Amino acid sequence: MCAHLGLYKDRKSTTAKDNKMKDKTSYALGLSMANQFRSTGIHHLSIDDFTEAFRDVYEEKPTQVSYEEAQKLIESLFERISNEEKELNKKAGEEYQKVYAQKEGVVTLPSGVQYEILKKGDGPKPTKTDSVEVHYHGTLINGKVFDSSRLRGKPALFPVTAVIPGWTEILQLMPVGSTWRVVIPSNLAYGEAGAGADIRPNMTLVFEIELLKIEENQ
């Protein structure tokens, strides 16, 4: 009898452990989904309706909307989020450039590109047909680094016309030996498409560019 009681106790303990692990796993899945939603711009939703939809699917109950209608609602949501993000990024960039333009020594070109000379160079200036060797450090307007040849410890070499339009414009104004801080509006950077995970649509970019040398293209 005691042996049977011991076996029952072990089974009960195992069941409790299994349930606890199932609860933890369920929570982990919810945690992962919540982080994914926030990272894609979904900051406001009804938790009650969300969990009700989960329950309806798992319990095979009739859903309140069809899957086709649900897909259209989701597409509409992400379109709205995308448009809001583009507008917010554009306004943030414009405000940043407005403030930066007031800084002594900053030049704003007709295109909207801004530059500040950190170190004067006395060498020649590249043309559109040249390639250049540069060191650069690229950040968002909040200071987050998205690309940097300096951090890699190796300068970059590329044709003047093989980069974003803002770079093509500014490189032709820089004498070799110069180091400039350059602010490029989104329309002369990556525009509404953005680039990668860090450069979101309509983001203004900031670069520190050192022009090391010019190489004529053959």
Higher-confidence position of 110 and 44 = 110
Residue 185: CA count within 13 A, CB half-sphere:
16
pLDDT for res 21: 62
DSSP notation for 125-178: ---TTEEEEEEEEEEETTS-EEEEHHHHTS-EEEETTSS-HHHHHHHTTPPTT-
Q: Does position 38 have pLDDT exceeding 90, yes or no?
A: no
Query: Span 184-213, mean pLDDT?
Result: 97
Mean pLDDT of 106-134: 97
pLDDT greater than 90 at residue 11 = no
Question: Rounded to whole angstroms, how far apart are CA atoms 14 and 64?
Answer: 38
pLDDT band at 159 (very low <50, low <70, confident <90, very high): very high
pLDDT of residue 19: 66
Contact partners, residue 126, CB within 8 Å, separation at least 6 = 132, 160, 171, 172, 174, 176, 211, 214
Least confident of 71-75, 99-103, 113-117, 144-148: 71-75
Write out the catalytic residue numbers.
136, 146-147, 164, 190, 207
Mean pLDDT of 139-165: 97
Confidence of residue 29 (pLDDT cuts 50, 70, 90): confident
Task: Give whole-number Cα distances, 16 to 7, 25, 97, in Å.
Answer: 14, 14, 60
pLDDT in the model for residue 88 = 96
State the pLDDT at residue 82: 87
Is the pLDDT confidence value at 218 over 80?
Answer: no
Give yes or no for residue 108 having a pLDDT over 60: yes
Average pLDDT over residues 120-127: 96
pLDDT for position 8: 55
Q: Which of 48 and 201 is assigned the larger pLDDT?
A: 201
Confidence label for 13 from pLDDT (cuts 50, 70 and 90): low
Residue 55 banded pLDDT, cuts 50, 70, 90: confident
Would the pLDDT of 9 be above 90?
Answer: no
pTM for the structure as a whole: 0.77
